[in-house]
Structure 1
Amino acid sequence: MSTAAEAILLGLGGDGAPQWLSLPLANRHGLVAGATGTGKTITLQIMAEAFSRQGVPVFCADIKGDLAGLSQAAAPNPKLEERAHKTGVTDFAYEAAPVVFWDVFGKLGHPIRATVSEMGPLLLARLLELNDTQEGVLNIAFKLADDDGLLLLDFKDLRAILAHVAERAPELSAHYGNVGKATIGTIQRRLLVLEQQGAEHFFGEPALALTDLMLLAPDGRGAVNILAAEDLVQRPRLYATFLLWMLSELFEELPEVGDLEKPKLVFFFDEAHLLFKDAPKALLEKVEQVVRLIRSKGVGVYFVTQNPLDVPPAVLGQLGNRVQHALRAFTPGDQKAVRAAAETFRANKSFSTEAAITELGVGEALVSTLQPGGVPGVVQRTKIRPPQSRMGTITAEQRAALIAASPMAGRYDTVEDRESAYEMLQSRAATAPAEVAPRSPWGDAPVRRTDPWGGAATLPPVPRGPAPRAPRPRAEPASDGGGFLSDILSGGGGRRQSPAEALAKSVMRGVGSQIGGQVGRALVRGVLGSFLKR
């Protein structure tokens, strides 16, 4: 059906026919499934090195450290050579693949970073496990950053824009929708948890240029990009969100190319069930859209998982090339999963697919690949060919030497921190007019008051302690003919006033200011007389 020039060899079928994966149809995606210890990792390894030999760059996650062996040629072994011969390999040679190591945390490979803006609110909400209300507020923060020209690059930018939204919550609620400070507080706490898990290393610059994943070696082989995921997989949401971000970026950045003679990039998504576990509907729709349409960008996506049922039906239906390793059926649930897996294959009349899934040995698989015209091939029980690179891990010294000699050496290793939302908001706060605080009567701070025309005036400083009182001028005698009333108005000629006299004096002043003439004076005398008689 195919030749080595236009396909990669997976192994030898039970009918004696080689099982090929057609390169022009490799961008129709695929599935590698099977229980733990049945050979999924070796299948992934032989596919990665085979794509590389055909000039197709590969990206894969190394969950257990085993795929690092792709960087080293396998040690000569007669058993490997014998198996290669029995599985249809005619040009077997021990060979290392051109490997580039990556690591989100920057420990076991070149750092991989993305900016907060590139991640976007949908994937970030998935990463933070936000509900719909919290996701809505996060969308408002991103929208405000766009409107105000604030760059969101790293974790501190995200925290700064959330604090800015909280400060302007009443104003923003009228323009963007309700913004609750309690909701923002919840998002900030989630960010703190994520930061403590080391996720802040992923956000920042220099951000990964996806073209750096599609390098070719000088001999024409495609680069095998290996993501060190031993630590990353312990944070399943970060792991799944990161790989989905990569798919989304590939989908948005790469141009439409239609069907090519071979893919521009093949992407292996190991432990794929982590992507779909507890995923909200919006995210599942995003995955389905990317998987369905990224084919036309020349990218093939291969999900690697234990059970085909880990992949939603809408996505599973897009996977045309399938390699199914053994499944164990010890429980009724396991038996149901086996039946469901068997039904996804085009049946072979020579054996029962359902029975074969439970009988496969290590290094055996049921293989069904797309044939010319995109027709699924009849499933074949197949012995998988051996890899030409090392099976297993490598030493720390070998990894360090490969990282130092990598074409990416020095490009992503140093963090950049240019002016972004955090710095811009701090600068705005520093240049804003200072608010003059009201001054306490016991301090020296100026006291602000507003005049009737809307302006502001500053009163002179209030001295500390009681001010000395100026002597009060003696009142002139009233023109009432002298006598008793004059004594009261003048303070009694130095005589200490009784309470009644003081009260009478106060009342007189209030009434006397409004009533004049002799009638007024007579009325005052009457009032005073009534007090003094008591």
Structure 2
Amino acid sequence: MSQKEAFFNHITQGYQCKGDFITLGAGMLGEETITDALVNIPLKTLNRHGLIAGATGTGKTKTLQVLAENMSEKGIPVLLMDVKGDLSGLAQASPGHPKIDERHQKIGIPFKAQQFPIEVLTISEQDGVRLRATVSEFGPVLLSRILDLTETQAGIVAIIFKYCDDNLLPLLDLKDFKKMLQFITAEGKEEISAEYGRISSASTGAILRKIIELEQQGGELFFGEKSFEVDDLTRIDENGRGVISVLRLTDIQDKPKLFSTFMLQLLAEVYETFPEQGDSGRPELVIFIDEAHLVFDEASKALLSQIESIVKLIRSKGIGLYFVTQNPKDVPEDVLAQLGMKVQHALRAFTAKDRKAIKLAAENYPDSEYYKTSEVLTQLGIGEALVSVLNEKGIPTPLARTMLRAPMSRMDVLTEKELNDVLDNSKLIAKYNKTIDRESAYELLNDKIDRINKEKSEEEAAKERQKLSRRSTSRSRSIRQNPVVKVLTSATFIRSVFGILKKVL
């Protein structure tokens, strides 16, 4: 048996699937693509999470696009974080190209151009279905971790939530929370101290500064109503295809706090909302997090711990998480260890640090008699990647240098008119893009503060009246002298008068 035949058997046996699957491409031996040596991913393992890594310009985004298309075609809803703004083309079919036909001929599968159902979402000022969440939905623990608060400060946040629950004060947006901070350090200080203990104004000031920092990154747009219902991420269109929700994030690359805040809240909400799925054969939802370092770079230890816990647990809810980044080291090791599928595009070895990073990246993949991984990582062309997934039994498949299939949709952004057409046909914009500012903690506390101030004014006025009354009484008493003084005074007066009369007479 030739090496080529042995390799063909190696790949086809390693990536053989009895159930439904997605074909990612064909295995390569050296620079040659082995036709029909197909690299398949079982649908039942898509909730085991994954990683797409590689240097800029090596094809990571197109790999993400291919996976999202094929999942949608299999009836699996997808959520994409579109940080670079080049994924909206999913809504239009590929115009095709001779090089695409040549690629698919090498792989051994036909190419078909196709458009997919998309929904455009936003958490910023960009057009799209607006995603919001209330402060109450975050809860004291999650909000404290996002703000990176100390234990003492987190305790104050817990008191705020408790007080609002006890007094029916809805915490909806950041102005509600800021008003509560003002209230517990001023007008409501005595009431709070009596019920929950003393609160340091220095601590509330530190919390307020963290809130302002979040506001400056666009948090005031994200916190509020109407809250987005995560069930709307799991829609299927009339043709049985999963809807691809594209979250536009091109204007928040310099706002990592807002991005990580949104991601953690979304994952927590999905985990709390979705039922335990068990082994259903396919995921309920797959989430792709592009530029994943934005989630992890600015995260505190507490926040990282929360993310790691969710990644470990959310799989049982039928949710797959796929991180897209330049280097595997951008993802914490505890998270990296949970990722069943790894697609590694080329890495560049320009410096000693780069070469060290490549050696570390190579250690994330199974050993192979057909490849020296650290060398192949620098030799991969655009649209090629080293791939290892989990088979249907949950066992890592053989490492395969893979010629990846081309996207079926357009590899470019939508025009303004095309984007407007997508927004006009949206079934969610009418539901979520109406601004709601109902009576909440801010308004109720203003009323309460007004009442407190009015009561204080009335109390002070009463005290002033009482004080004036005492003064008046005192003057009255001085006029109404006691009898002895009165007699003496009268006698003196009489003596004076009579003395004057005597002189006159």
Distance 1:330 1:306 in 2: 15
1:254 to 256, 262, 274: 274
1:446 deviates by 7.1
- More helix by percentage: 2
The offset of 1:470, in angstroms, is 7.3
User: In structure 2, which of residues 443, 464, 483 is the aligned counterpart of residue 447 of structure 1?
Assistant: 464
Please list the CA deviations of residues 21-80 of structure 1 after superposition, one character each: whole Å capped at 9, or x if unmatched: 110011111001111111110110100111000000000111111111111111132221
Aligned with 1:345: secondary structure? Answer: coil
Give, as a single letter, the amino acid of the residue that structure 2 aligns with 1:259: D
**Counterpart in 2 of 1:459?**
469
Structure 2 residue aligned with 1:270:
290
CA distance in 1, matches of 2:88, 2:471: 75
AA in 1 matched with 2:24: L
TM-score by length of 2: 0.86
Query: Any unmatched runs of 5+ in structure 1?
Result: 440-444, 451-457, 479-485, 496-534
Aligned to 1:180: 200
Contact kept in structure 2, 1:35 and 1:328, CA below 8 Å: yes
Q: CA deviation at 1:178?
A: 4.7
8 Å contact 1:345–1:378 — kept in the other structure? no
- Aligned letter for 2:286? V
Q: Deviations over 1:401-452 (max 9, x none)?
A: 101101213111101122221222233344556232546xxxxx872449xx
Q: Is the 8 A contact 2:90 2:115 kept in 1?
A: yes
Aligned to 2:329: 309
Trace 1:106-255 onto structure 2 (pairs within 5 A).
106-167=125-186, 168-169=188-189, 171-173=191-193, 175-176=195-196, 178-255=198-275
Counterpart check, 1:359 vs 2:379: yes
- The equivalent position to 2:26 in structure 1, one of 3, 8, 12, is 12
Deviations 1:66-102 (A, max 9, x none): 1111111111322212212222323x21111100000
Match of 1:483 in 2: none
For residues 18 and 116 of structure 2, what CA distance do their matches in structure 1 show?
18
Contact 2:130–2:429 under 8 Å retained in 1: no
Q: Counterpart of 1:493?
A: 496
Partners of 1:474 and 1:490 within 8 A in 2: no
Q: CA deviation at 1:488?
A: 9.8
Shift of 1:192: 2.9
Alpha-carbon spacing, 1:255–1:487, altered in 2? closer, same or farther (3 Å) = closer
Q: Measure how far apart 1:165 and its partner are.
A: 2.0
C-alpha distance in 2, partners of 1:200/1:127? 15
SS of 1:107's equivalent in the other structure is: coil
Q: Alignment partner of 2:315: what SS?
A: helix
Q: Distance in 1 between matches of 2:305 and 2:485?
A: 92
Q: 1:418 to 1:2 in 2, by over 3 A?
A: farther
Taking the aligned partners of 1:184 and 1:88, their CA distance within structure 2 comes to: 64
Alignment partners' CA distance in 2, 1:205 and 1:385: 42
Q: Is contact 1:169-1:180 (8 Å) kept?
A: no
Q: What amino acid sits opposite 1:219 in the alignment?
A: N
Q: Please give the root-mean-square deviation of Cα atoms over the aligned residues, in Å.
A: 3.0
Deviation at 1:260, TM superposition (A): 1.5
Give the direction of change, closer, same or farther, for the CA distance of 1:492–1:71 in structure 2 (3 Å limit): farther
Report if aligned partners of 1:32, 1:324 keep a CA contact under 8 Å in 2: yes
% identical aligned pairs: 43
Give the corresponding residue for 1:368: 388
The corresponding residue for 1:35 is: 55
Counterpart check, 1:25 vs 2:45: yes
2:196 and 2:484 mapped to 1: Cα distance? 69
Give the letter for the 1:361 counterpart. Answer: G
Q: Distance in 1 between matches of 2:194 and 2:353?
A: 52
Indicate the residue corresponding to 2:101 in structure 1.
81
Judged with a 3 Å threshold, the aligned counterparts in structure 2 of structure 1 residues 177 and 272 are, in CA distance, closer, same or farther, namely: farther
SS state of the match for residue 375, structure 1?
Answer: coil
Q: SS of the counterpart of 1:55?
A: coil
Aligned length: 473
Residue 492 (structure 1) shift: 7.5
Q: Is the 8 A contact 1:123 1:241 kept in 2?
A: no
* CA distances 1:142-186 after superposition (whole Å, capped 9, x unpaired): 222223222111122112222222233455356545521122123
Partner of 2:501: none
Task: Tell me, in whole angstroms, the C-alpha distance in 1 between the residues paired with 2:484 and 2:320.
Answer: 105
Checking the alignment, whether the CA contact within 8 Å between 2:217 and 2:258 is kept in structure 1 is no
Flag the 1:231–1:474 CA change in 2: closer, same or farther, 3 A. Answer: same
CA contact 2:17–2:392 (8 Å) conserved in 1: no
Letter in structure 2 aligned against 1:114: A
Which letter does structure 2 place at the counterpart of 1:423? Answer: E
Partner letter of residue 276 of structure 1?
F
Instruction: Give 1:487 deviation, angstroms.
Output: 11
User: Which is further off, 228-237 or 316-325?
Assistant: 228-237
Instruction: Assess, with a 3 A threshold, how the Cα gap between structure 1 residues 446 and 138 changes in structure 2: closer, same or farther.
Output: closer
Distance 1:223 1:449, change over 3 A: same
Q: Distance in 2 between matches of 1:386 and 1:430?
A: 64
| In structure 2, distance between residues paired with 1:268 and 1:160 | 36
Q: Are the aligned partners of 1:106 and 1:112 in contact in 2 as well (CA < 8 Å)?
A: no
- Secondary structure of the residue aligned to 1:358 is coil
Checking the alignment, whether the CA contact within 8 Å between 1:74 and 1:94 is kept in structure 2 is yes
User: Residue 193 of structure 1: CA displacement?
Assistant: 3.7
Against the structure 1 CA distance between its residues 471 and 320, is the aligned structure 2 distance closer, same or farther, given a 3 Å change threshold? closer
Check the 8 A contact 1:477/1:490 in 2, yes or no: no
Aligned to 1:407: 427
